[in-house]
A and B are shown apart, each in its own frame.
Chain A
Amino acid sequence: MTPLRDKFDALLRSTPLRLSIALVALFALVSLTSLGASFLIIRDSLDQTMRIDLQQDLAGFQAAPSANAVAQLITAEAAMTNPERRILSFTTADGRHFGNGFISPAGNGFRVMSLPEEEDLSEADYLTLSASLHDGRLTVSSSRAQIEDLGELFINILVLSLLPTTAIALAAGLVISRRSGRRIEAIGQTLEQLTQGNLAARVPKIAGRSDDLSMIAGQIDRMAGAQQSSVDALKQVSADIAHDLKTPIQRVSVLLSKAREMPALRADLVDVLDKAGQETDGIVATFQSLLQIAQIEGGSPKNRFKPVDLRALAATFAEVYEPAADERGHKLIADLPKEGTYVVSGEKGLLGQVLANLMENALRHTPAGSDITLSVGRSGEWIEVSVCDTGPGIPAEERRNVLRRLYRLEQSRTTPGNGLGLSLVAAIVEMHEGKLALEDNNPGLCVKIRFQSAETR
């Protein structure tokens, strides 16, 4: 969709403009009704007047004593009468015709009719009144042009009265909607920032305003403030827990090291101490990952992001893991572009952690002989990194679960790991506004991650 179209749609969505359009429609309806009613009343009264005039005319002629007298009267009066307004017509019993036009409707009484084509006088209809008189037929007609013009006049009045109203209402609607639109947009942007984790975002203040929008803005600010202080408190608590728990863990690992270094230890005791040491390392790793996930999800500020070339980073990790993969009988394939920049905005250490976790998952959960393919590519404004293996894969219904913290598949209960690797990957991807997808590699698992290219951001 074009930006202009977007703007137009946004404008149509604004409440003030909608209201003003509705008001204009209402005005138009009311004016139409009242003008229409006036039109009908005036038209009827004009018609009535016309009929009375015609009856009086007819009565005047009926007073004449003979057909000849009527003919003379008609001729005299017709000479002074414009046939476009009034037509007098008298046909005697022997077929002679007098008057300024010839209209002869069948039957007596009122009729509305138009002139025959050849009587090129007026396009308007005529109201005719006919009567038999001295064996002849007398018809007096009056042009209805006046009544017909009345319609046009009323339409003009309608347009003239509606135009300024409409223009003023629409203009006011536009101005108000643009002004409130800017403020609504500011509120929207603030909410967007808050959603993205910038809890310090506040709605910009407009001095001297205290309407409903300012009230909502104030409420949003208060909500954000409350949120921020609770997140800060949570962070503080996490840091305190980290400190309070890590110190004893450090002590345990110190004591274990000391015990391990004592002279003349029994061999089985050495084994026990080594195992205890490994378990402590496991606790530390789990703890560290949980803290890291919490910290990343807690909305770590993104202003420290720097350009990171994913092609170079992937090449480094492929190289680092290649001998380890080889030793386990895996084939590590680095499907990387030969050249070009694949730069995203991010934290290199964390993006590296993503690659490391995915590679280690693939190494850990696939049997010897499986292929592991690390690839980097571009599709439009997205840069895609994927780690695909030909191992047992993850059943479709389990793919969502493995992103949960500490979740482990039944089939991998016995392999080392704490079930936090993919949760950490998901948190880091989310922090970088990327997308994570687990797909079937037929056979095996394909983990695909997309980040927005830094050039198009």
Chain B
Amino acid sequence: MRIMVIEDDATTGDYIAQGLREEGHTVDLIANGRDGLIQATTTDYEVLVIDRMLPELDGVSIVRTLRAARNLTPVIFLTSLGGVDDRIDGLKAGADDYLIKPFAFGELSARVAALSRRPQLKEQESLLKAGDLTMDLMRRKVVRNDLEIDLLPREFALLEHLLRRKGRVQTRTMLLEAVWDISFDPQTNVVETHISRLRAKVDKPFEIELIKTVRGSGYRIEE
């Protein structure tokens, strides 16, 4: 996947670019806003990672200009400003996601993956599968190895979210946003406890573990 990172701080920029390259992406790192905008309009990227405060042209102006020119490439803002207003302003300008500095690389990587391959929600698809587990969306049933698993509604939603994004890491904050529609950074292990309850029903009675923990990032169901 081709990604452009516009970040004026060399240490952070190098770290992001290197991390994304190690994951197999092609990364262009640009250090100022104006060059970034020119590059974004002349090259076809799949995701843009843009710092909000940049020399010469700030992040919000870049995104506004791109959107005005009908360039709909997904954008993740990186910002030092973490206020509610800043978040809303950023999303209003046309950014697709918003990360507050400093962030764990796993969070960025998971969000880049989520944006680049936005889930194609096929309405007619009513069966989700992973290994020997099948989720029947119509009948709200989960069967693994011919055994029916009884899930609470929110456990069902959590599993459905992970199944639909099979093979991709979902971070704790992404799960809170998607399953509970709340965005905050919990200081306690709230998401872990939900996952461990889900695992107790979905994984524990069976030999193979479906829900994997990705260290420093989040959770993933293997393809």
A contact set with B: CB distance below 8 Å = 239, 242-243, 246-247, 249-251, 253-255, 257-258, 280, 284-285, 288, 291-292, 295-296, 300-301, 304, 313, 316-317, 319-321, 323-324, 326-327, 347-350, 352-353, 356, 360, 363-364, 416-417
Contact = CB atoms under 8 A, between A and B. Distances in A.
A320 B182 contact: yes
A285 B197 CA distance: 28
By secondary structure, the A interface counts as helix
Contact of B180 (A251, A320, A347, A364): A320
Given A317-B182, A319-B180, A349-B183, A327 B84 contact: no
Contacts of B15: 254, 257-258
A323 B102 contact: no
Contact of A316 (B102, B182, B185): B182
Contact of B83 (A250, A292, A321): A292
Interface in B175-204: 176, 180-190, 192-194, 196-197
B141 interface: no
B180 A243 contact: no
Interface residues of B, number: 37
A257 B81 CA distance: 22
A417 B188 CA distance: 11
B26 interface: no
B102 A360 contact: no
B43 interface: no
Contacts of A352: 182-184
A257 B105 contact: yes
Contact of B85 (A280, A304, A356, A417): A304
Residue of B15, B84, B180, B181 with most partner-chain A CB within 10 A: B84
Given A250-B101, A304-B85, A352-B182, A321 B80 contact: no
Given A253-B102, A349-B184, A364-B188, 15 more contacts: A242-B82, A243-B53, A249-B101, A250-B9, A250-B101, A254-B12, A257-B216, A321-B188, A323-B190, A323-B194, A324-B188, A324-B193, A348-B182, A349-B84, A360-B188
Contact of B189 (A239, A288, A324, A350): A324
Interface of B: 9, 11-12, 15, 53, 80-85, 87-88, 100-102, 104-105, 154, 176, 180-190, 192-194, 196-197, 216
A300 B85 contact: yes
Nearest to A298: B83
A247 B80 contact: yes
Nearest to A244: B80
Given A291-B83, A321-B190, A327-B193, A254 B154 contact: no
Contacts of B182: 313, 316-317, 320, 348-349, 352
A158 B100 CA distance: 82
A291 B100 CA distance: 12
Contacts of B186: 320, 356, 360
Given A319-B180, A324-B190, A363-B188, A246 B102 contact: yes
Contact of B102 (A280, A321, A347, A348): A280
A250 B12 contact: yes
A323 B181 contact: no
Contacts of A292: 82-83
Nearest to A300: B85
B82 A250 contact: no
15 contacts: A247-B9, A249-B101, A250-B101, A254-B12, A254-B102, A258-B15, A288-B100, A295-B85, A320-B182, A323-B197, A327-B193, A349-B182, A352-B182, A352-B183, A360-B188
Contacts of B181: 316
Contacts of B216: 257
Nearest to B11: A251
A317 B88 CA distance: 22
Contacts of A321: 188, 190
